[in-house]
Amino acid sequence: MRRTGFLFDRRFLLHETGPYHPETPERLDAIYKGIEEGGLFDKLTVIQACRADDAWIESVHDKKYIDRFRDTCVAGRKVLDYPDNQMCGDTYDIAYLAVGGILKTIDKVMDGTLDNAFCAVRPPGHHAEIDTAMGFCYFNNVAIAARYLQQQWQIGRVGIVDFDVHHGNGTQHIFEKDASVFYYSIHQHPSFAYPGTGREFETGSGKGHGFTKNSPALPGHSDSDYQSLIEADLLPAFENFVPEMILLSTGFDAHEDDDMSDINLSTEWYSWMMEKMIELADKYSNGRLISVLEGGYCLERLPELARNHVTILLQD
């Protein structure tokens, strides 16, 4: 059995998005429930979140944006930048906690206390741009994690795999000129899904050219299409890049029962994907792997998806 961390903090539930919003606290309840029902808590190391240092948030985001986020929150306004980004008075603090918890998890994996981890955080991060909140995201959790790995733990090459059904525009843009971070994303084709980026011809720019790879999938595509794309696009890309550490932007919203998209993945595909990711981690990063939650909105499916996710992280 591997030593697997589970970042979970009840305070992540305090980020309220109002009625009619799919990114709800209940998502984390569902994930927690699934892991509990699987009897997995005894096997996991539960990690409590803590507030991130400003410096790490600022390693990705503009100071002016961070201040604007704070001021909007303190003033009691409910929306930042786009109507999608509904928030409450606690949102700013919770976003700091999510990042802080992920960085704490990185420390435990990098100092050898843990092999891998699943960070069940809210709010999600991959749509957040350097200076703009987008698509329910405020701070780009995974992007900050990548910078932290490089600056705090001297990791040279970080590979990010984003399998949320939406393209991680924020993460791509933050690293598009950076050859030390490879961003791979598989998602529903941008002509049919938010945010409208992530086309095959987006491959990075300047020194980062060739270090971004997108696999758009057409509506209706399912397990075998996704599996072929991972094998044809991601595996060779990492073979060339040779990541020293792998971060996952884990989104469960490509599931067939999740109505945020028209991609029809089964629960089994998610297990296949995680087994592949473990293989990659064993091959390139000494087994070290950190998965960070992005989307996934089907409350009926989240328990089993989270349970399988963690079960595979624990397996030898």
User: Where in 71-100 is the site for other proteins (CB under 8 A)?
Assistant: 82-84
Q: Which listed range, 25-33, 79-87, 101-109, 164-172, lies at the site for Zn ion (CB under 5 A)? A: 164-172
Contact range with Zn ion by CB under 5 A, out of 69-77, 156-164, 178-186, 212-220: 156-164
Residue 95 or 193 with smaller CB distance to other proteins: 193
- Of positions 3, 61, 108, 127, contacts other proteins by CB under 8 A: 127
Q: Which is nearer to other proteins, 25 or 287 (CB)?
A: 25
H-helix or E-strand spanning residue 308:
helix 302-314
| Helical axes 302-314 vs 267-284, angle rounded to 10° | 30
Work out which of 135, 204, 296, 303 binds other proteins, going by CB under 8 A: 135
Q: For other proteins, which residue of 69, 92, 136, 139 counts as binding (CB under 8 A)?
A: 136
Which partner, other proteins, Zn ion, none, binds residue 160 by CB below 5 to 8 Å per kind? none
**Structure tokens that stand for 216 in this block:** 């758009």
Dihedral angle over CA of 18, 64, 178, 247, nearest 10: -30
281-284 own/partner pairs: CB under 8 Å, 24+ apart: 281/116, 281/246, 284/159, 284/238, 284/242, 284/243, 284/244, 284/246
Among 52, 80, 134, 149, binds other proteins (CB under 8 A): 134
167/165 Cα distance (integer angstroms)? 7
Q: Using the minimum distance from each CB to other proteins, give the nearer residue, 244 or 253.
A: 253
Question: If binding means CB under 8 A, how many residues of this protein chain bind other proteins?
Answer: 26
Residue from 100, 251, 280, 284 that binds Zn ion (CB under 5 A)? 251
Per CB under 8 A, does 22 bind other proteins? yes
Answer with the entry of other proteins, Zn ion, none that 191 interacts with (C-beta below 5 to 8 A by kind).
Answer: other proteins
**In whole angstroms, what is the distance from residue 86 CA to residue 24 CA?**
10
Least CB distance to Zn ion at residue 167 (A): 9
Please list the residues that pair with 186 across neighbouring strands: 215
**CA–CA distance, 52 with 103 (Å, rounded to integer):** 8
Applying CB under 5 A, which of residues 104, 166, 255, 288 lies at the interface with Zn ion? Answer: 166
CB of 51 to other proteins, least distance (A): 27
Place of tokens 């349970």: 307
> Could you give the 3-state DSSP secondary structure of residue 162?
strand
Give the one entry of other proteins, Zn ion, none that residue 251 binds, where binding means its C-beta sits below a cut-off of 5 to 8 angstroms depending on kind: Zn ion
Residues 251 and 294: beta-carbon distance below 8 Å:
yes
Helix, strand or coil for residue 276? helix
Q: Which two tokens stand for residue 132?
A: 């703009």
Told to check if 18 binds other proteins by CB under 8 A, we report no
In the bound state with other proteins, the residue whose beta carbon lies nearer, of 9 and 162, is: 162
Q: How many CA atoms within 13 Å lie on the side-chain side of 204? A: 20
For position 196 contacting other proteins by CB under 8 A, the verdict is yes
Question: Three-class SS of residue 199?
Answer: coil
Based on the residue annotation, tell me whether 127 is a catalytic residue of this protein: yes
Q: Which residue in this structure is represented by tokens 């990659």? A: 280
Give the active site residue among 15, 126, 127, 221.
127
Query: What is the closest distance, in whole angstroms, from the C-beta atom of residue 295 to Zn ion in the complex?
Result: 3
Kindly tell me which of 148 and 252 has the beta carbon lying closer to other proteins.
Answer: 252
Cα separation, 196 vs 216, whole angstroms: 11
Site residues for other proteins per CB under 8 A: 20-22, 82-84, 127, 134-136, 166, 169, 191-197, 218-220, 259-260, 262, 297
> Which positions are annotated as active-site residues?
127
